[in-house]
Amino acid sequence: MSDRVSRRRFLGTVAATGAGAAAAATAKAAPVRPPGRHGQERVQKVATHCEMCFWRCGVIAEVSADGRVVRLEGNPDHPLTKGRLCARGNAGTSLLYDPDRLKYPMLRTGKRGEGQFKRITWDEALDVLADKLKTIKEQHGPEAVGFFPHGIGARFMGTLLKAYGTPNSVEPSFAQCRGPRDVGYLLTFGRPLGSPEPLDLEEAKLVVLIGSHLGENVFTSQITQFATGLSRGAKLVAVDPRFSTAASKADWWLPIKPGTDIALLLAWMNVLIAEGLYDKEYVDAHAVGFEELAAHVAAFTPEWAEPITALPASQIRETARAMGAAKPAVVVHPGRHVTWYGDDTQRARAMAILTALLGSYGRKGGLFFPTPVPKGDFELPDFPDSDKGRADGAGEKYPLASEEMGVTNGLVDATLSGKPYPIKAWIVYAQNVLESIPQPQQTLKAIESLDFLCVVDVMPVDQVAYADLVLPEATYLERYDAPLIVNSAKAPFVSVRQPVIEPLYESKPGWWIAKELAKRLGLEAFFPWATPEEHLEKTIEPMEINSLELRTKGAVAFAGRPYIEDRTEDDLPLFNTDSGKIELYSQALKDLGADPLPLYTPPEEPPAGYLRLIYGRAPMHSFARTQNNATLHGLMPENEVWLHTTPARELGLKDGDRVRLENADGVTSLPVRVRVTEGIRDDCAYMVHGFGQRSKSLRRARDRGASDTQLMTRVKVDPLMGGTGMRVNFVRPVKEA
Note whether 243 binds ligand SF4 by CB under 6 A.
no
Least Å distance, CB 219 to ligand SF4, is 5
Q: Establish whether the linkage from the previous residue to 573 is cis, with ω within 30° of 0.
A: yes
Tell me which H or E stretch contains 727.
none
Nearest to 245 by CA among 207, 205, 206, 218: 218
User: Segment contacting ligand SF4 (CB under 6 A): 47-55, 123-131, 169-177, 415-423?
Assistant: 47-55
Note whether 52 binds ligand SF4 by CB under 6 A.
yes
User: Segment contacting ligand SF4 (CB under 6 A): 51-59, 433-441, 642-650, 706-714?
Assistant: 51-59
Least Å distance, CB 624 to ligand SF4, is 14
Q: Are 369 and 289 in contact (CB under 8 A)?
A: no
Residue type, position 450, single letter: L
User: Segment contacting ligand SF4 (CB under 6 A): 54-62, 322-330, 541-549, 581-589?
Assistant: 54-62
Least Å distance, CB 225 to ligand SF4, is 13
DSSP string, 668-709: BPPPEEEEEESSB-TTEEEEETT-----TT-TTTTT-S--TG
User: Of the two residues 459 and 470, which places its CB atom closer to ligand SF4 in the complex?
Assistant: 459
Count of residues engaged in binding ligand SF4, rule: CB under 6 A:
14
Q: Which of residues 57-76 bind ligand SF4 (CB under 6 A)?
A: 57
User: Segment contacting ligand SF4 (CB under 6 A): 27-35, 86-94, 639-647, 679-687?
Assistant: 86-94
Q: Is the dihedral of CA 691, 60, 513, 107 positive or negative?
A: negative
User: Of the two residues 57 and 238, which places its CB atom closer to ligand SF4 in the complex?
Assistant: 57
User: Segment contacting ligand SF4 (CB under 6 A): 80-88, 181-189, 419-427, 537-545?
Assistant: 80-88
List Cβ neighbours of 376 (8 Å cut-off, separation of 6 or more): 538, 539, 540, 541, 542, 543
- Helix, coil or strand: residue 451: coil
Note whether 56 binds ligand SF4 by CB under 6 A.
yes
Least Å distance, CB 152 to ligand SF4, is 12
Gap between the Cα atoms of 65 and 59, Å rounded: 19
Note whether 85 binds ligand SF4 by CB under 6 A.
yes
Up-side HSE of residue 35: CA atoms within 13 Å toward CB? 9
Note whether 436 binds ligand SF4 by CB under 6 A.
no
What is the contact mask toward ligand SF4 in residues 316 to 355, using x (rule: CB under 6 A)?
A: ----------------------------------------
Gap between the Cα atoms of 163 and 95, Å rounded: 32
Q: Which of residues 220-239 bind ligand SF4 (CB under 6 A)?
A: 220
Up-side HSE of residue 412: CA atoms within 13 Å toward CB? 26
Note whether 53 binds ligand SF4 by CB under 6 A.
yes
- Between 344-357 and 179-189, two packed helices, what is the crossing angle to 10 degrees? 40
CA distances for 333 relative to 113, 367, 547, angstroms: 41, 9, 35
Q: Which listed residue (1, 23, 27, 50) binds ligand SF4 by CB under 6 A?
A: 50
User: Segment contacting ligand SF4 (CB under 6 A): 55-63, 326-334, 341-349, 399-407?
Assistant: 55-63
User: Of the two residues 270 and 627, which places its CB atom closer to ligand SF4 in the complex?
Assistant: 627
Least Å distance, CB 1 to ligand SF4, is 19
Note whether 79 binds ligand SF4 by CB under 6 A.
no
User: Segment contacting ligand SF4 (CB under 6 A): 46-54, 124-132, 177-185, 533-541?
Assistant: 46-54
Note whether 89 binds ligand SF4 by CB under 6 A.
yes
Least Å distance, CB 86 to ligand SF4, is 3
Note whether 86 binds ligand SF4 by CB under 6 A.
yes
Nearest to 243 by CA among 556, 614, 674, 515: 614
User: Segment contacting ligand SF4 (CB under 6 A): 81-89, 160-168, 332-340, 666-674?
Assistant: 81-89
Q: Which listed residue (55, 117, 164, 585) binds ligand SF4 by CB under 6 A?
A: 55
User: Of the two residues 154 and 287, which places its CB atom closer to ligand SF4 in the complex?
Assistant: 154
In the bound complex, which residue of the shown chain has the CB atom lying closest to ligand SF4?
A: 89
Q: Which listed residue (189, 219, 452, 691) binds ligand SF4 by CB under 6 A?
A: 219
- Helix, coil or strand: residue 220: helix
User: Of the two residues 220 and 443, which places its CB atom closer to ligand SF4 in the complex?
Assistant: 220
Q: Which of residues 568-627 bind ligand SF4 (CB under 6 A)?
A: 622
What is the contact mask toward ligand SF4 in residues 616 to 635, using x (rule: CB under 6 A)?
A: ------x-------------
- What's the alpha-carbon Rg for the chain, to the nearest Å? 25
Q: Which of residues 674-693 bind ligand SF4 (CB under 6 A)?
A: none
User: Of the two residues 53 and 688, which places its CB atom closer to ligand SF4 in the complex?
Assistant: 53
Gap between the Cα atoms of 133 and 144, Å rounded: 9
Gap between the Cα atoms of 355 and 366, Å rounded: 8
Q: Which of residues 373-432 bind ligand SF4 (CB under 6 A)?
A: none
Q: CB-based burial of residue 358 (10 Å sphere; 0-12 exposed, 13-18 middle, 19+ buried)?
A: buried
User: Segment contacting ligand SF4 (CB under 6 A): 49-57, 432-440, 479-487, 650-658?
Assistant: 49-57
Q: Which of residues 199-218 bind ligand SF4 (CB under 6 A)?
A: 218
Q: Is the dihedral of CA 364, 365, 371, 373 positive or negative?
A: positive
Q: Are 92 and 72 in contact (CB under 8 A)?
A: yes
- Helix, coil or strand: residue 43: strand
- Cβ atoms within 10 Å, residue 291: 10
User: Of the two residues 220 and 408, which places its CB atom closer to ligand SF4 in the complex?
Assistant: 220
Gap between the Cα atoms of 424 and 405, Å rounded: 20
Q: CB-based burial of residue 559 (10 Å sphere; 0-12 exposed, 13-18 middle, 19+ buried)?
A: exposed
Q: Are 591 and 428 in contact (CB under 8 A)?
A: no
Tell me which H or E stretch contains 466.
none
User: Segment contacting ligand SF4 (CB under 6 A): 48-56, 61-69, 308-316, 489-497?
Assistant: 48-56
User: Of the two residues 194 and 420, which places its CB atom closer to ligand SF4 in the complex?
Assistant: 194
Gap between the Cα atoms of 210 and 348, Å rounded: 11
Using CB under 6 A as the criterion, which residues of the chain lie in contact with ligand SF4 when the complex forms? 50, 52-53, 55-57, 85-86, 88-89, 218-220, 622
